[in-house]
Amino acid sequence: MSIKGKTYSLFGSGANTDHYYRTIRQLTDLFQEACSDKEELLRHVQRAGRDRSLLKRLRSNQIHKPLISYINTTLKEALPVYTTGVKQHLKTLPLSRKFDDVLKTKEYQYHLYMIEIELVNRLYRRAFNDSAYRFALIAHCLRDFRPECRALSGVYESECRGCTRDCFIHLGSALLKKYGIHSFISVSMDLDKLFKKIKSDHQSAGALGIACVPELVQGMRLCVKLGIPPVGIPLDANRCARWMGQCRESSFNLKELEELITINK
C-alpha cells in the first residue's frame, strides 16, 4: 500500500517502490556514461548538493559545470514525482526550525541525495560485505506502533525482540540476522561517538543504514570519514515525529535490502 511522507515518497504515483529503484539505477548508469569514475562522480554530486545556490554551483571551479548541469536537468525531469511535498514543507517550516540541516533540505538536494545513496552503495557494497563485523542501524520510526515495543538494550543500541510479525524493524532484523548482520534500532543522536565506539571494538566493520533520505546521506558520509564502508536503504517516506509532529508508521523495500547484502559488485 502506498504511503506519503512529509516531503517525499518513493512510491511516487505507483503502488510499490520498485519503479523508484529502477529509475535511480537507470539514472546512475546514465551519469556513469558521462563520468565513468564512480568516486569522481560522487564528489561532483556531493559538491552540487552542498551548495544552496544554483548560481554558486555553476560558478564553482571545483565541479564539472557541463556534467552537473546535465545531472540537474535530468533529475529535474525524472524525480519530482517522488518529492511532491518538499515545496509546501519549506513554505510552512517555522523560523525556529529553518536552521535544521535535515528539515531544510531542498528538492534538488533530495534528488542529488538519491543518486548519492546509489553511488555509495555501488562503491562500498563489496567492502561492506567483506567486513568481519557488519552492523545495521534501523530507524526507530519503522516500529509497529500498535503494541508496546519490547526492544531491549544491546551492546550498542536497542535490539528488536520480534514481538510483532508485521513490524518493519522485526522484518528487517530477521532478514539481516539471516545474513550474519547485527541489527540495532537507531535512537542515538551522537552517531559520531557511536561509530567510533564500534570502530574501536572492531577493526573491520561495515555499516548499513535504513533511514530517511537526508539522514541516511549524513550517516553514510560520516561512515566514509571514519573509514567504515557504508551501504543503505532509504525509508519509503519520511513520517517520524521530526517531520510530521507525531510518529506514523513507515516502511522500506525488503527485496532491495536483500539484494544489497547478497550481491557483490
**pLDDT mean over 62-74:** 86
pLDDT band at 26 (very low <50, low <70, confident <90, very high): very high
Question: How long, in residues, is the chain?
Answer: 265
List of residues 6+ apart from 106 with CB closer than 8 A? 52, 86, 90
Q: What is the largest CA-CA distance in the chain?
A: 54
Question: Where residue 165 falls among pLDDT bands split at 50, 70, 90?
Answer: confident
* Residue 9 falls inside a structural domain: no
Q: Is residue 229 part of a domain?
A: yes
- Alpha carbon 7 to its chain's center: 14
In the predicted structure, residue 62 carries a pLDDT above the cut 70: no
Give the integer Cα–Cα distance in Å for 64 and 44: 7
Helices and strands per DSSP (H, E), number in the chain: 11, 6
Q: Is 143 left (phi over 0), alpha (psi -120 to 50) or beta?
A: beta
Got the DSSP string for 108-148?
HHHHHHHHHHHHHHHHHHHHHHH-SEEEEEEEGGGS-SSS-
| % residues pLDDT > 90 (the chain) | 69
Q: Is residue 8 domain-resident?
A: no
Residue 10 within any structural domain of the chain: no
7 in any annotated domain: no
Buried b / exposed e across 119-151, counting CB within 10 Å, b at 16+? Answer: bbbbbbbeebbebebbbbbbbbbbbbeeeebeb
Residue range 97-155, pLDDT digits in tens: 888 999 999 999 999 999 999 999 999 999 999 999 999 999 988 876 566 776 666 67
123 inside domain: yes
- Domain contains 140: yes
pLDDT value of position 52: 56
Burial of 31 (0-12, 13-18, 19+ CB in 10 A): buried
Domain containing 122 equals 18-262
Q: What is the mean pLDDT of the chain?
A: 89
Instruction: Please state the pTM of the whole predicted model.
Output: 0.93
Bridge partners of 138?
185, 210
Assess if residue 182 is contained within a domain: yes
Specify the number of domains making up the chain. Answer: 1
Q: Which three cell numbers stand for residue 31?
A: 551519469
The residues pairing with 208 across neighbouring beta strands, listed in sequence order, are 136, 231
